[in-house]
Amino acid sequence: MTIISSFKPMLLSNNEFNITVLDYTLMFKSKKRDGVRIEVTNQGLWGRSLKRIPNEKLQEWFKPVYEDLPDGVILEAEVYSHGLLCGDIAGICGNKKQTKTIPENMKLYIFGIYDAEKTFEERIKCIEATKHF
């Protein structure tokens, strides 16, 4: 069994929280962009349903991000290109025939990491180290 088959993506909780008593000292926020949410492993890019992103050009475009990831590490990320609508980005991601051009400003914004062997603080440092992608 591969790590991706046993992984469950982060989902919004249905629980109600009293925000006046939450401890925010170890919480981080990230800017929400109108892109396509994906999971990234050393085997490539995966959609939220954990099916491989079919556009091989896009897989190759972001290969420098994932090719050296250790086994068992999963990045939570968003594919985004300023000026494109989310539906257009989703169309590029799902384009099996690879007829759509990947914009030069197509980026991968990493906002989370799963690594069972690292603490929260260590995972945050790993994300900060990827800012150049």
Instruction: Supply the pLDDT for residue 1.
Output: 40
- Residue 101's pLDDT band (boundaries 50, 70, 90)? confident
Q: Which two tokens stand for residue 127?
A: 């994300």
Name the range with the highest mean pLDDT among 56-60, 114-118, 126-130: 56-60
For the chain, the structural domain boundaries read 33-128
- Residue 32's pLDDT band (boundaries 50, 70, 90)? confident
Model's pTM, two decimal places?
0.73
Instruction: Supply the pLDDT for residue 13.
Output: 65
- Residue 90's pLDDT band (boundaries 50, 70, 90)? very high
Statement: residue 58 has pLDDT above 90: yes
Statement: residue 37 has pLDDT above 70: yes
Q: Which CATH architecture has domain 33-128?
A: 2-Layer Sandwich (3.30)
Average pLDDT of the chain is 83
Distance CA 113, CA 127 (A): 7
For residue 87, which of 104, 97, 100, 105 has the smallest C-alpha distance? Answer: 100
Instruction: Supply the pLDDT for residue 68.
Output: 86
Average pLDDT of the segment spanning 15-33: 73
